[in-house]
Each structure stands twice: as C-alpha cells, then as structure tokens.
Amino acid sequence: MNPTIKDVAQRAGVSVGTVSRVLAKNKTVSEDIRAKVEATIDAIGYRPNILGRSLRLAKTDIIGLVVPDITNPFFAELAKQVEMLASAEGYSVLLANTHDDPDAEKQQIETLLGRLPAGLILVPVSNSLADGLASRTRTVTVDRPLSGHALVSVDNRQGGYLAADHLLSLGHRRLGYISGPGTTEVSGERRGGFVQRLAEFRKSHPGDYVPPQIVEGHFDYRSGEELGKQLLTQPEKSRPTAIATASDQQAIGLLRAADDMGLRVPNDLSIVGFDDIPLASLVLPRLTTIRQPIDEIARLALEGVLGSHALQEEYKLQPMLMKRGSCAAPSTP
Amino acid sequence: MNPTIKDVAQRAGVSVGTVSRVLAKNKTVSEDIRAKVEATIDAIGYRPNILGRSLRLAKTDIIGLVVPDITNPFFAELAKQVEMLASAEGYSVLLANTHDDPDAEKQQIETLLGRLPAGLILVPVSNSLADGLASRTRTVTVDRPLSGHALVSVDNRQGGYLAADHLLSLGHRRLGYISGPGTTEVSGERRGGFVQRLAEFRKSHPGDYVPPQIVEGHFDYRSGEELGKQLLTQPEKSRPTAIATASDQQAIGLLRAADDMGLRVPNDLSIVGFDDIPLASLVLPRLTTIRQPIDEIARLALEGVLGSHALQEEYKLQPMLMKRGSCAAPSTP
DNA sequence: AACCACCAATGAAACGTTTCATCGCATGTG
DNA sequence: CACATGCGATGAAACGTTTCATTGGTGGTT
C-alpha cells in the first residue's frame, strides 16, 4: 500500500495534523519540524491521496468538458486550450462527447456531475437542459447558449455579417449561404448576420440586390460537399459566384464539391468559411474565413468556471475576417 | 448539502449498511425493505457520493488518456473511441496532452496517477519513462512502444511495406518518403517497411531499382509541406514520381506543396498517406492511404486496461491499403 | 513573581462510503 | 421442546484527508 499521511507523521514523530499543515504551504509551522517532515516525506515517497482530500473538502480538482464531438477540429482545439490552461492551474480535464444527442448529453452531464467537478465547461446540444442539471456546479457554456448559464462565444451575427460584407465588397452579387442545422442558435445568428448585411445592401443599392440562396445542413465536411453540389448545379447565370458557410469543415467540403464540378476557386467561385481551424490555412486554396479566437474563448470559459467572481452573463468575442486565397472578385465575362 | 446514505437510512428506518447493500444490486436484501429504500432514495433525490466510495475502494472509475496532442485528428479519433467505449462501461476519461514534451509527459502522468485512475492509456513520447512511473496503475501503451508495457498498435512496418508495394506495382520507380521524427519508433518502422519492400524489389528487379529519397520531419501538415517542397524542387528526371508519407497530415501538406509547384496529383505525382483520418477521404484528390483501425485499437487498449486477464505483451493490428484518388501510374513521357 | 498573550503542535472529529463480524429471529430438525 | 441452521439486518471500523478546539510552552508585561 502507498504510504499515508499517518505513516509520515509517525516516522517524523509528529501528529498528522502537523504534516497536513506542512503540506498546506501557507500554514504556520516551525522551521525545524517543517524540514524534518519534508525530509521524511520524500524519504518514504509519500504522496497525498487526493481522494481523501477531495472527500474532506467535498470537491475535486477536476473540470468537466462536454463537447458534441472531440473529432471536430474546433472542439479539439478548444479541448487542447482548456486542458493546457487547466493543468497549469493544477486541474485535470474530464472529457465527454455528446454526439449531438440530447439524451447522451444528459447522461454524460449526469455522470460528470456525480464526480463533483470543480466546474463544467459545456457546449450544449439541447437548448433547454432538464431543469438545473448543470446548476449543481459552476457551469460555463461555450459556443452555444443555454438559458440560465454564462455563455462565452464569438459574436456569430457579426461573423456572418463580416462574411457577407467581404463578398459584397469584392463585387459579388449572387451569394449563396451554407448554414448549420436550423435548430442551433449559432446557425441562426451566423446566417442572420449574413442576411442582415445583404438587407443593408439592398437599402443602399436597391438595383443591384439579389436575394441570397440559402441551404441548410450539418456543420461537417460531408454536409458542405452535398449542399455545395446542390447550390452549384444550376445554370451559370443563376449559380452563386460566392458562397459563405457556417463552418470551415463545410467550406472544405464545398471546396471539394466545386472541384468535382470543374469550378476553380477563387476564379469561378469565392468561398468564406467560419472558425479558422488549423486546416483552413493548409487547404488548397487557403481558406478565407471568419476567425474565432479559441484561445480567448478557452481562457474566459476557464476563468468563469474557476474564478471567484461571477462571470458576466454573456461574453461575446469579436470574430475576425482572415483574408486568404479562396476569395476574389467575380469574373466578369 | 446533498443527502447522504445516512439520510436515506434514517428516513427509511434501516441501517446505512442495508442501504449500501440495496445500492449494490447483487447483494441479498428482503423485497419489502429494498422497495422501501428505493422509494426513499428517489424521494429525497439521493445520489451516492462517488468520492466516499472511491476512497473506501481505493480506486476510481476514471481512465487516464495521455496523448501528444488532441488536435491531431488521429488522437482525436482515438480519444473519441476510447471515451465512447469507456462511458458505456461507466468510466470517465481524463484527458492530458504532452505536446511531445517528455517533461510535460512526466508531469501529466504524475498528476494523473495522483488521481488513482482505474487505468492509463498512454501514447508515450519519451521511450523510457522514469522507472515504473506508469506501473502504478494498469497501463496500456498505444501507437508507440514503451518498454515494460503492453502495446496496442498497428503493424507499422507492414504499413510502410504496403505503401511501397502499391507504388511499385503501379509502375513507379523513383520513390520519395517523408518520414516522421527519427526519434520515434513508429517512424522507424514505417520507413523500415517501406525500405524493406524496395530492397526486395532490388533483388527481384536489379536493373530497375532506384534508391528512395528519404526526408525526415514531424508528423504535421507543415512538415509535410516543407519536406514535400524539398523533395519536389529537383530537376524532373531525378524528382520522385511518387511519395509516401508517415502520416495523412504530412500527405495533405504535401498535396499543398505539389499544387504550389504546379504538379498535378496523381498525374504528375502519386501520394500515399498513413492513418486514414476522416479528412483523408475529403481532401482533393481523395487520399490513398494506409488505414489504421482506430476503433479496434481503442477497443483493445480499453480492454487491456479494464479487462481482468492480462493483455498480451504486444498487439499488432493489420493496416490496410485504402486505394483512392491520389495514386496513378507514372506518366511516361 | 504572577499573569497574560501568543504560537506551535496535538488529538479527535468529520467527510460518505463499503465491508465484516455480530446478532436476532424464524424455520426446520432431532 | 430444545437446539442447530440460515438468512437478513445491524453497528462499527476503516479508507486518507483537513480542520478546529485544546493543550503546552515561551516570552513579555505588570
């Protein structure tokens, strides 16, 4: 068996309480005793049993991280950042996937909470989790809102707006938009921003306005490819010259669809993605996209969960247009 | 405060021991008492405190998963599979990144072990971890070996062999190979298999043999791009007509390099990747690659960690050649 | 010299479980 | 009818901490 604090105490000839106070750096212990205790501690290779500690303190150093799918590069990056910051503070990260399934989500959160985490960082899938489920610990929501909880996210509306703005300013008029699932608020906001910019354009240039073609699917590669094909199989004069998407994965799928149909990006088709996952700048052509500051998101989320002061209700970070190679002015035949 | 087992016992008019035995399904309790206890349990919303339980049992339901970088699609997929299987068995997964840094690895494992996990699934970075560090719990190593521990991995040598074999059989003679870091055993084996097939070819077709051009770097996109450029900036007659890589990420970087230099894949250059990450089949052209059966790897690793019977020392799974669009016969001008 | 204040260390209780030895009681046996 | 046999339930100990009320001792003040 591992040595316990009792062994240390006995061998050092002090009480367990004293050893405990040596361990808690900030307590007051006489110098010689502290030295002796510390000596025996690494003499017998004692390491505190975190379970005893947690039980006594009624809380752990564990942070629950619940994401739809760790395979999604955006969430992988989030997980990485959260884990980095957390472990720097001495916390560990418990990972759970929900697979975009509300039941699985409920189940996962349930067992996570059973482990009495110090806090929960949650990318919710259902927008109304069974009553205070997540209220049993400090919870911060990321990316998607959940009523009654602090939210850290990018200003999705602004992101959609930026995408439309960029394309319009390049001279595109026939725009397409590949949206995420209609059920998620994120999708709605991104699309909303996109549409809003177009509405403004309509006001200022009534003659030039063309209503956007909007299709809807999932956030993944495949959906981007399929919906892309759908948008692009039209006679050239009605086919969009530029398409914005709700995720980089969709955009990359779209890239593939365009190529399949013999369209060159950006010559024949401009594309704007969303997220700025690492792959976005490695794909061909490099993807122009709306960047989410993930590191900042992770930082704020963790701060909200661990910090002593309550996090403000909603933390909207500003997205940023990353101009790369997938956009150009429309070719004017 | 949350209700404890004592509250249940009191309210149900039985002893705590009895409640405990009700909770442990397989113990013997009279029917009426069981009913009464169960009734009060969800009357007062009691849920067992896992900390008390773990302390008593001196072990947790947590599995540590230590990977170099969760952002790497291969590890993300591994994490997903492990988490799925683990949560189905009632275990949770604690995630840690080592960033390919031996010191960080040591640190991470150290704190993970402090949490008394039921087991550890480890993708080691240093090939000799400080003496029995990982021996303090059931540990299974994945992807890369670590002396003294069970290993689940693909037969990397066979993978390299398959890649070379495929390219040779298409008619390629001037082959290139983009390897992973020379320090890792995986790299060595994949490359070894590749070279071995070429050596065999040399025996059988002495006249046709051309020594492969091998370069070495990291497993990531960027490395693939850089090393690719390096291999491809040669006069056409010495430039490889086909390149195999040690990871799909490298292959995708290479795809990019090739395009930058005006080479068409597979017309001017054939490429074989390694891993078969989801992206491999979505990139343009679809990547021919050596598939690792990740689900199988995850399953075996978890089994090794949780199963009662000792896992055999080494579990080598067979890789599989996935023929897609990035390979063709060399153009013979 | 007596007293007070203070500091360092102690001992025990408490956190919420599981388990094991014990006990009471009903049932069946001699 | 006395007695063994089991079975179901109990009570207490134990897991490894932290913390809090006590205690013992030292130095300073009157």
Cβ contact, residue pair B94, A62, below 8 Å: yes
B174 contacts B236 by C-beta, under 8 angstroms: no
**Res. B332: pLDDT tops 70:** no
**Res. A193: pLDDT tops 90:** yes
Tell me the mean pLDDT in the region A180-185: 88
Tell me the mean pLDDT in the region A129-142: 79
Cβ contact, residue pair A116, B51, below 8 Å: yes
Is residue B325 less than 8 Å (CB to CB) from chain A? no
Residues 6+ apart with CB under 8 A from B204: none
Report d(CA B187, CA B127) in Å as an integer: 13
Tell me the mean pLDDT in the region B109-125: 93
**Res. B62: pLDDT tops 90:** yes
Of the candidates A16, A319, A328, the one whose C-alpha atom is nearest the C-alpha of residue A143 is A319
**Res. A332: pLDDT tops 80:** no
Across the interface, of A50, A97, A114, the residue whose CB is closest to B50 is A114
Tell me the mean pLDDT in the region A54-74: 95
Nucleotide nearest residue A8, measured CA to C1': D16
Cα-flanking dihedrals φ and ψ of residue B287, to 5°?
-85, 125
Q: Mean pLDDT, chain B, as a whole number? A: 93
Is residue B215 less than 8 Å (CB to CB) from chain A? no
Interface of A with B in 70-129 (CB under 8 A): 70-71, 73, 76-77, 79-80, 83-84, 87, 90, 92-97, 108, 111-112, 114-116
Report d(CA B140, CA B137) in Å as an integer: 10
Query: Chain A: residue nearest B253 by CA?
Result: A282
> Which pLDDT value is given to residue A129?
72
**Res. A333: pLDDT tops 60:** no
What is the number of alpha carbons within 13 Å of residue A83 lying toward its C-beta?
28
**Res. A258: pLDDT tops 70:** yes
Tell me which CATH code domain B156-292+318-322 carries: 3.40.50.2300
Confidence of residue A130 (pLDDT cuts 50, 70, 90): low
Across the interface, of A60, A62, A80, the residue whose CB is closest to B70 is A80
- B242 DSSP β-pair partners: B175, B270
Q: In CATH terms, is domain B58-154+298-303 a member of 3.40.50.2300? A: yes
> Which pLDDT value is given to residue B192?
97
Confidence of residue A279 (pLDDT cuts 50, 70, 90): confident
The ranges of chain A annotated as CATH 3.40.50.2300 are 59-153+298-303, 156-293+318-322
Which class for B120: exposed (0-12), middle (13-18), buried (19 or more C-beta within 10 A)?
buried
Stronger pLDDT, B164 or A133, i.e. the higher one: B164
Q: What is the four-CA torsion angle of B237, B239, B243, B245, rounded to 10 degrees? A: 160
- Interface probe for B, chosen from A57, A70, A256, A269 (most Cβ of B below 10 Å), is A70
- CB of A17 within 7 Å of some strand C atom: yes
Tell me the mean pLDDT in the region A195-211: 96
Query: Chain A: residue nearest B61 by CA?
Result: A115
> Which pLDDT value is given to residue B212?
96
Query: Chain B: residue nearest A110 by CA?
Result: B47
The ranges of chain B annotated as CATH 1.10.260.40 are 5-48
DSSP B93: E
CA angle, A281 then B75 then B144, to 5° = 120
pLDDT digits (tens, 9 = 90+) for B225-282: 999 999 999 999 999 999 999 999 999 999 989 988 999 999 999 999 999 998 898 8
Distance from CA of B94 to the nearest CA of A (A): 4
Report d(CA B300, CA B152) in Å as an integer: 7
Report d(CA B51, CA B53) in Å as an integer: 5
> Which pLDDT value is given to residue A184?
85
The ranges of chain B annotated as CATH 3.40.50.2300 are 58-154+298-303, 156-292+318-322
Q: Look at the block and give the residue holding tokens 């955006």.
A: A74
pLDDT digits (tens, 9 = 90+) for A221-250: 899 999 999 999 999 999 999 999 999 999
> Which pLDDT value is given to residue A307?
85
Q: Which nucleotides of C are covered by protein (CB under 7 A)?
A: 7-21
pLDDT digits (tens, 9 = 90+) for B159-206: 999 999 999 999 999 999 999 998 888 999 999 999 999 999 999 999
Pick the CATH number of A59-153+298-303 from 3.40.50.2300, 1.10.10.10, 3.40.50.720, 3.40.50.300: 3.40.50.2300
Distance from CA of B272 to the nearest CA of A (A): 17
Contacts A108 to B, Cβ<8 Å: 87
Is residue B46 less than 8 Å (CB to CB) from chain A? no
**Res. A214: pLDDT tops 70:** yes
- CB of B46 within 7 Å of some strand C atom: yes
**Domain B5-48 falls in which CATH fold?**
434 Repressor (Amino-terminal Domain) (1.10.260)
Confidence of residue B148 (pLDDT cuts 50, 70, 90): confident
Distance from CA of B212 to the nearest CA of A (A): 27
Tell me the mean pLDDT in the region B214-222: 93
A305 contacts A140 by C-beta, under 8 angstroms: yes
Confidence of residue A131 (pLDDT cuts 50, 70, 90): low
Cβ contact, residue pair A278, B221, below 8 Å: yes
Query: Chain B: residue nearest A77 by CA?
Result: B71
Tell me the mean pLDDT in the region B32-45: 93
Give the H or E element holding residue B5. helix B5-12
Confidence of residue B130 (pLDDT cuts 50, 70, 90): low
Is residue B57 less than 8 Å (CB to CB) from chain A? no
Q: Mean pLDDT, chain A, as a whole number? A: 93
> Which pLDDT value is given to residue B134?
64
Report d(CA B286, CA B292) in Å as an integer: 17
Tell me the mean pLDDT in the region B15-37: 90
Tokens of A136: 């049993």
Stronger pLDDT, A331 or B174, i.e. the higher one: B174
- A96 DSSP β-pair partners: A66
Tell me the mean pLDDT in the region B284-295: 94
**Res. A309: pLDDT tops 90:** no
pLDDT digits (tens, 9 = 90+) for A316-328: 999 999 999 999 9
- Give the Cβ contact number of residue B157 at 10 Å: 20
Confidence of residue A134 (pLDDT cuts 50, 70, 90): low
User: Could you tell me the CATH superfamily of domain A156-293+318-322?
Assistant: Response regulator (3.40.50.2300)
